[in-house]
Structure 1
Amino acid sequence: MTIIASLLRNAELPDSPTARLDVELLLAAALGKPRSFLHTWPERIVSTEAAQAFDGFLKRRRTGEPVAYILGQQGFWNIDLEVATHTLIPRPETEMLVETALELLPSAIPHRLLDLGTGTGAIALSLAKDRPQWTVTAVDRVDEAVELAERNRQRLHLDNAHVMRSHWFSAVEGQRFDLILSNPPYIASNDPHLVEGDVRFEPSSALVSGTDGLDDLRLIVSQAPAHLEAGGWLLLEHGYDQGAAVRELLNRHGFEQIQTRRDLGDHERITFGRVPC
């Protein structure tokens, strides 16, 4: 017979930088309980079935498989999302896009937004939940991602969000938005980080964008003005060393009020600009 405290104490994940958190998340999932249960009832006996499930989770994590893929879910901003291996795992730094969008647009006005390359729907659905008076369109070119984002939308009951298949702007020709935002692929094809950590398990199509990582950013910046209302904003996540390049792209295509913000690691992480009013 095994108790919770014993499993927590003896579990080992030597290659994980967040080993303690990983162990707690995996054990809580095996038990079907929240993490707080582990600390409230450390002497609770764990069933054989739950202990076996936990052991299976640990074995998968030791191979490097991300916790989010093992559990099939990930928290982001103010929502919980279903995740799968054909989409990126939503990351905390991407919440900067949501935070900035909420700052830039008056909350009481019924704005129209477009999220390019939505993946799980994390950005679009977070905004749709926080601003029910806004209309948010989420697009992705991968069918499985569109289906996943739509499942998340339906589960969250967000009728002001719409998910559709589109290769960037291809399905929204003739439409204009007050704000467009995207976390596109921005890693160079020869980047050594592609064979390290969680990234090994994520789809390369959602990560890699040409030899310098800027191919998709170039396309979005060049085509966005035709899809923005006068005074509309374009917000982009990018690599830690791409801020200057993205600012130059925005300036070249006529954007004004260009700014870059840094993440908690003090890396340039998002850059945005506005088309002239």
Structure 2
Amino acid sequence: MEPNISSIFEQAQDSLITLRDLMRFAVSRFRQADVFFGHGTNNAWDEAAYLLLHTLHLPIDQLEPFIDARLTGHELAECLNIIRRRIEERIPAAYLTHEAWLGEYRFYVDQRAIIPRSHIAELLEEQLSPWVEDPWAINRVLDLCTGSGCLAILAALAFPEARVDAIDVSEDALSIAQRNISDYALETRIHTLKSNAFAAIPNERYDLIISNPPYVNTESMAALPPEYRQEPEIALASGEDGLDFTRIILHEAANHLNPGGLLIVEIGHNREALEAAYPDTPFTWLETAAGGNFVFLLRQKDLPGGR
């Protein structure tokens, strides 16, 4: 009979000595338990390194200098606890550490909001070049479905003259967004607002609208790993084909963009369904590290009702 998980962790408390020991133990346990990755890492080694270095208050990108360091009894207990919680509770690492990273930028997060991750982030780091010729000419930006506020913050940093409206239907998410905005000292430039899509801003117009909306279809929602079920369903599910919220954006965005304005939306794996639903819409698909099928761009004049 194989030992139960309590026995395994009790033995670990008495046997493991160095960070290298813990890394091997964590990777073995993650693989044995078949935990799912995808909230910042994509494999057991990187997940273990991040969780352990964070727990030990060490730089999360510097494992090697500390790999053979001996741990105190208290440190070992804390590390084993976070490994065990990751396995037993299936809580994503970002919720365990209350932080998520987009490139070099750190954001606070907890289970009131979706974990920051978006292909739009890398596009903002390049100031949306070449689609935005003059970043200083962008004066107003809307981040629709802001969640933790991460894209609103990156947009404010990318476009130094812009005022940003960060909108979400969830008050819980907006409280997290406000915390992150304060962490970056951007309170005077980013305004949070509760709204169901554009409802609370009927007369506002922007130079740029960005959105990482809910886009998981019904079939995929039913198959989500437990880790993704820890996130708010409202931030993930978007109807039978995953396009319910994207349709709202496409039908209303033209009325909220200035002439020449840009709409940029992330839609997950729904490109084929989107193009089938809107065969006459000239989507431009933007290249990211993951490929060119996940983020589209439209100019104001190319949207329904645009001119």
What TM-score do the two structures reach when normalised by structure 1?
A: 0.89
C-alpha distance 265-177 of structure 1, shift in aligned 2 (>3 A): closer
C-alpha distance 172-246 of structure 1, shift in aligned 2 (>3 A): farther
Q: Which amino acid aligns with 2:264?
A: L
C-alpha distance 172-92 of structure 1, shift in aligned 2 (>3 A): closer
Where does structure 1 differ by over 3 angstroms across 4 or more consecutive aligned residues?
246-252, 262-267
Q: Does residue 1:184 correspond to 2:209, yes or no? A: no
C-alpha distance 166-92 of structure 1, shift in aligned 2 (>3 A): closer
The more displaced of 204-213 and 89-98 is 89-98
Match of 1:72 in 2: 98
Verify the 8 A CA contact 1:113 1:180 in the aligned structure 2: yes
Determine helix, strand or coil for the equivalent of 2:135: coil
Could you list the runs of 5+ residues in structure 2 that have no partner in the other structure?
1-15, 36-41, 302-306
Q: Structure 1, residues 99-150: CA drift from partner, whole Å, max 9, x if none?
A: 5762222112242110000001111101112322221111111001001000
After superposition, residues 4-153 of structure 1 pair within 5 angstroms as 4-11=19-26, 12=28, 13-14=30-31, 15-16=34-35, 17-63=42-88, 64-96=90-122, 98=124, 102-103=128-129, 104-105=131-132, 106-153=134-181
Q: Percent identity?
A: 28
Q: Measure the CA separation in 1 of the matches of 2:224 and 2:213.
A: 19
Q: Which amino acid aligns with 1:270?
A: V
Q: Structure 1, residues 201-230: CA drift from partner, whole Å, max 9, x if none?
A: 211111111111111111111111111111
Q: How many pairs align?
A: 273
Q: Measure the CA separation in 2 of the matches of 1:250 and 1:272.
A: 15
C-alpha RMSD over aligned residues: 2.3
* Greater share of residues in strand: 1
Larger Rg: 2
After superposition, residues 228-243 of structure 1 pair within 5 angstroms as 228-243=257-272
After superposition, residues 256-267 of structure 1 pair within 5 angstroms as 258-266=283-291
Q: Which amino acid aligns with 2:193?
A: M
Determine helix, strand or coil for the equivalent of 1:268: coil
